Amino acid sequence: MLEHLQKQASKPNRVVILGSKGFLARALVEHLASTGIDSVAVGSSEIDLILPDSVTKLGQLLRRDDCLVITSALTPDKGRDVATLMKNLEMARHLASLLENQGCSQVIYISSDSVYSAEDSLIRESSTRQASDLYSLMHIAREQILIQATSKSQTPLCIVCPCAIYGAADTHNSYGPNRFFRTALKDSKITLFGNGEEIRDHILVEDVARLIGLCIAHRSIGILNAATGVAQSFHQVAESIAEIVGAEVTIECLPRSGAITHRHFDPTLRIKAFPDFDLTPLTVGLTKMHRELTSTSNK
């Protein structure tokens, strides 16, 4: 499911990143800079992919030897409705109309683990894609749109599906490490649904950026799940954060509304593709996140 067109890693001429404001895009820019790779991050204020003129604008920017990383998407916090879905698909339509005719060195599409069925007890890259809501439908549709467009221009496509990403710079207040840290630091309290039994795989944003960097360096094609393969319950994550923050953080349990679901990832493909890639253990990543959050708030 993942093939390296370049067995030996090499630097691309340039990486164009769509979605400059995003949490992951910023981490990727930093990572590429740290490895001496030239990159340009393009935000919606420069090229708004929802608008038809984005095709021309991006066409003028994109060079034949560029690697294009697509992180742009309206995330669920911007809306879960049909209008948001259509805007996201409009972006993909414009990208496709460019990529069908103008190829580049490689396209990397940042998808989501939401594309996989919630019923799968162990997710791997070959797992069935099944939409559970309009957001996951959007990513599934975009993946297909890009597969079709890049095949026309014979551009290598790599689809990266990250599991739950955490890191200090995340602006989303989603349930998990990001929200737990904020409430622990602000109110000395972490609130869980039920007892936080749900098991999830959490990955540090810098690790996802490094994995994308490896896909770029090897011009990988196919699908890669950016996941650690080590899943923990939200309760375990909350306990780790409470211990890191200290100062008598309490864990509060609220009645849950939905059924308990778990999500595990099989890391086999990743460890075969990148055998010496070292992941940051969750407690180490959370400690780093805490250090960054508290140093930011102290400034």
Partner 1 sequence: MRFESAELAKISINCFLVSSVTTANTLAEICEHTGADWSEIAPALRLDRRIGPHAYLTPGLGIAGGNLERDLVTVRQLASRYGSDAKVVMAWQNNSRYRSAWALRQLHRVVLPRCSHPRIAVWGLTYKAETHSLKNSPAIDLISALAPFKITAFDPVASDSSIHSANLELAPTALAACHKADVLIVMTPWKEFSQIDPLMIQAEMCGRVIIDPFGIITAPGFTHLQLGH
Q: Tell me which residues touch partner 1 (CB under 8 A).
A: 122, 124, 126, 229-230, 266-268, 271-272, 275-276, 278, 281
Residue placing its CB nearer to partner 1 in the complex, 119 or 278: 278
Least separation, in Å, of the C-beta of 229 and partner 1? 7
CB of residue 276 vs partner 1: minimum separation in angstroms?
4
Question: In whole angstroms, what is the distance from residue 282 CA to residue 268 CA?
Answer: 19
Q: Classify strands 199-204 and 231-233 as parallel, antiparallel or unpaired.
A: antiparallel
C-beta of 114 vs 228, nearer to partner 1: 228
Of 90 and 120, which has the nearer Cβ to partner 1? 120
Residue 40 vs 230, nearer CB to partner 1:
230
Q: What share of the chain is helix, strand, coil (3-state, %, to 5)?
A: 40, 20, 40
Residue 256 DSSP code: -
d(CA 222, CA 63): 22
At its nearest, how many Å lie between partner 1 and the CB of residue 179?
Answer: 28
Tokens linked to 164: 């739950």
Give Cα 4 distance to the centre of its chain: 20
The distance of closest approach from Cβ of residue 188 to partner 1 in the complex, given in angstroms and rounded to an integer, is 32
Residue 122 or 260 with smaller CB distance to partner 1? 122
Minimum distance from CB of 78 to partner 1 (Å)?
36
* Beta carbons of 177 and 239 less than 8 angstroms apart: no
- Backbone CA torsion sign across 14, 88, 269, 103: negative
Burial, 182: exposed, middle or buried (Cβ in 10 Å; 0-12, 13-18, 19+)? middle
Q: Which is nearer to partner 1, 4 or 142 (CB)?
A: 4
CA distance 146 to 168: 31
- Minimum CB–partner distance for residue 186 and partner 1 (Å): 33
Greatest pairwise CA separation for the chain in angstroms:
59
Minimum distance of partner 1 from residue 278's CB (angstroms): 6
What residue has token string 């994109």?
62
